Chains A and B, each alone.
Chain A
Amino acid sequence: MESVFGLVGRDFAIVAADTSAVHSILVHKTNEDKIMVLDSHKLLGASGETGDRAQFTEYIQKNVALYQFRNGIPLTTAAAANFTRGELATALRKNPYMVNIILAGYDKVTGPSLYYIDYIASLHKLDKAAFGYGSYFALSMMDRHYCSDMTVEEAIELVDKCIMEIRSRLVIAPPNFLIKIVDKDGAREYAWRESIKDAPVPTA
């Protein structure tokens, strides 16, 4: 089962996700990127049904870009989160997307923020959030060690503690994790935490 979690620090937000793409008992790949860079200052970490995840997050990314093209200014994190919730809520009673989302962003005015959106479109702004079986461990570790105003080093230390806990206590633990960060300088990949390395695939 996929793990995604995130937290808000002093002037940044971090999203971490496992990177295994699993189909029943088979592991297709161990370096699947589940944290989409929505725009320059937003991250969308998603877990759930693989097809829904890929399609829905790309749909949100393109609509966020469209807004910026049409209006000349980017969406705020709150607006992007509410848009995402609206799309999930509209689809809920027709053709639901089985995707759980952690949306993190940095706005110049309001600073870093993190939004929890579950697959039935419940939206809540939080300082720390997690999805999947890994959430049982990640949330407990964060409840114990999190404080507001953490530096990047402290936050990464906490993320690593969560990853170690998931790796040691979850029976089918994902081997690799990806950590992305968003701050005033933008959204970018921060680090990989690998214990199994896939052979690199030649690009087309």
Chain B
Amino acid sequence: MSIFEYNGSALVAMVGKNCFAIASDWRLGVQLQTIATDFQKIYRIHDKLFLGLAGLATDAQTLYQRLVFRHKLYQLREERDMKPETFASLVSAVLYEKRFGPYFTQPVIAGLSDGDKPFICTMDSIGAKELAKDFVVAGTASESLYGACESMFKPDMEPEELFETISQALLSSVDRDCLSGWGGHVYLVTPTEVTERILKGRMD
């Protein structure tokens, strides 16, 4: 079993009309055994920037702590929050620093950029950025997620429709992956508010 599949995860982010949604599953496992069904994988960096970390849980926790540290220092120096594009470059640089001994995580970054324009990107474990206009996926269920998102996605969806789409894409994909699931966790972010919802799916 690959080191990326040790803990199990499913992450997806989607762009809507002046909004974005980022969703994850809840499972923490050790190979075939489930340890927890409430393991959070999406972290709030600031109100308009969210980071999801798929892959090995220990590296996701270490990487998150390092990135929060860097962002807090940035906030102190610049007296403002980091833009999503800047943060993505920071994550990429932090990952490439460990090129020959990498963190085994795949980040998904989603935020509202200048003018509240939604920004999403993902990268591999050594920081190769993949910018997308529609959706990005990561984790053990990524192949299912690609299929589900490709078929369900429409451009310029309103927040409520975007929430429905991302939820259905997530739940149907994790149901085909034994290493992820136990419900869903969706953040829906518009310029004015952040909505956090918990989905109940197949609890297996």
Residues of A near any B CB (own CB < 8 A): 85, 89, 92-93, 116, 118, 120-124, 126, 129, 135-136, 139
Contact = CB atoms under 8 A, between A and B. Distances in A.
Interface residues of B, number: 13
A139 B61 CA distance: 24
Nearest to B30: A118
A85, A89, A122 — most chain B CB neighbours (10 Å): A122
B35, B56, B62 — most chain A CB neighbours (10 Å): B35
Provide the main secondary structure of the chain B interface.
mixed
A122 B33 contact: no
B61 A85 contact: yes
A118 B58 CA distance: 9
B28 interface: yes
B39 A120 contact: no
Given A118-B58, A126-B35, 6 more contacts: A89-B62, A116-B35, A122-B7, A124-B39, A126-B36, A129-B35
A48 to B, nearest CB: 14
B61 A122 contact: yes
A136 B58 contact: no
Nearest to B36: A124
B58 A121 contact: yes
Contact of A120 (B28, B36, B56): B56
A136 B7 CA distance: 17
Contact of A92 (B7, B35, B58): B58
Contacts of A124: 28, 35-36, 39, 57
27 contacts: A85-B61, A89-B62, A92-B58, A93-B101, A116-B35, A118-B30, A118-B58, A120-B56, A120-B58, A121-B61, A121-B62, A122-B7, A122-B28, A122-B56, A122-B57, A122-B61, A123-B58, A123-B61, A124-B28, A124-B35, A124-B36, A124-B57, A126-B36, A129-B35, A135-B33, A136-B33, A139-B33
Contacts of B30: 118
Contact of A89 (B33, B35, B39, B58): B58
Interface string B159-190: 00000000000000000000000000000000
Contacts of A120: 56, 58
A92 B102 CA distance: 12
B202 to A, nearest CB: 17
Contacts of B36: 116, 124, 126
Nearest to A92: B58
Nearest to A88: B58
A93 B7 CA distance: 18
Contacts of A118: 30, 58
A136 B31 CA distance: 13
A123 B39 CA distance: 10
B101 A122 contact: no
Nearest to B104: A120
A144 to B, nearest CB: 15
B85 to A, nearest CB: 29
A92 to B, nearest CB: 7
Nearest to A116: B35
A106 B119 CA distance: 43
A93 B33 CA distance: 24
A139 to B, nearest CB: 8
B178 to A, nearest CB: 17
Nearest to A136: B33
Interface in B18-56: 28, 30, 33, 35-36, 39, 56
A129 B30 CA distance: 12
